[in-house]
Amino acid sequence: MLKIEIWEILDQLEQNGFDAYAVGGCVRDSLLGINPKDWDITTNARPEQIKYIFPNTFDTGIRFGTVCVKWNNSVVEITTFRGEKEYENHRKPMEVYFTDNLQEDLKRRDFTVNALCADKEGHIIDLFGGREDLKNGIIRAIGNPNERFFEDALRMLRALRFACRLDFVIEPDTYHAITKNAYLLKSISAERIRAELDEIVLFDKGIRLLSDSDLYSIIFEAQPVRFNETVYKQLPLELKYRYAYLLQSAPSGMISKLKFDRRTAAFLKNVLQYQDTPLHDALSLQRMYLKIGKDALECIVLLQQDENLLSLYRSCRFLTVGHLAINGKDILFIAPQKRSKVLTHLVEKVFLKELDNTRPELLRYINNLDIT
């Protein structure tokens, strides 16, 4: 079950008189037959003792008892057993203290399936029923879910993320607590919320959970979009398309609030601005293509849920100015402020097959064009 490097680190800690276990997601994933991306170790050794045992270390969260150990080309986080007192802003503990009690360390964690430990021999330590929940596909908060979410509101989104990623269900009391405490997300930074959403919105299940649990209304400041599985499955599996679906009814300021990168923000602004624009024929599609680009146009067509429009869109061979057999240098005799309009007009004529896209034909047409 354990990687050889993990076994060796646990063995080193034990040889120096300390308890040590692999813990959390790496144990959960191993039991599910998933290869863990990262391995975490918990121990009653204090940070300074960890650094003494393992000379090749660096600090990442020393205040919280975490030391990174470099071992055989691997980097492993080792954290001292700890307890926490009082949380501030529903996100982080105001005080952390070290303890020799494994149970005290595990009970502060979020969900039962993430509180599993394994010793170096692979024996599982399960103090909260996580293995049974893993077997039954259940995400369950440790202890009182209202308390867990009041301590750290982001745990509510993590519940959805794990439910989506593992295809588990959220235990009823835990789910009810999410709905009850959804408002606490107002105190969490947009960056942290976005990081969790990025993992959730790629799943149909994630959209349903967001909408049904009131989290959507809190995050996007709007009534949830009515989930249409057919449309959602037609959207490309890219975050920008999934967010376009989610943001259909959200206020325009939500794009900047969620701090998307510049290209994604531009895409979303185009989709939301033009999503209700009538697109009734090939020319209207071509004009919108020139205005907002292929990706945004495709997204709008899919969101409009019109099979005839979708069929028309897929039959079109859209053009840009770059497809023309001439370019701006060929029309330098035209006033600069009118060149773009002339080229766009030519694109439409070629698109409608009213002109052949050859240099002589286009130049002849321009010479006879009234551009006053």
56-109 tens-digit pLDDT: 888 877 778 899 999 888 889 999 999 877 666 666 666 788 999 999 999 989
160-166: average pLDDT: 96
32-55: average pLDDT: 92
CATH T-level fold of 137-220: Hydrophobic Seed Protein (1.10.110)
351-369: average pLDDT: 92
How many CA atoms within 13 Å lie on the side-chain side of 133? 26
* Residue 94: per-residue pLDDT: 65
Global pTM reads: 0.85
Query: pLDDT confidence of 50, banded at 50, 70, 90?
Result: very high
- Tens digits of residue pLDDT in 96-122: 889 999 999 999 899 999 999 999 999
Query: pLDDT confidence of 274, banded at 50, 70, 90?
Result: very high
Q: Are 156 and 149 a contacting pair, CB within 8 Å? A: yes
C-alpha to C-alpha distances, 156 to 26, 183, 290, 293, 308, nearest whole angstrom:
21, 11, 42, 37, 40
Class of domain 1-131: alpha beta
* Residue 61: per-residue pLDDT: 74
* Residue 198: per-residue pLDDT: 95
* Residue 238: per-residue pLDDT: 92
How many CA atoms within 13 Å lie on the side-chain side of 358? 4
- Tens digits of residue pLDDT in 202-234: 998 998 898 888 899 999 988 888 778 888 888
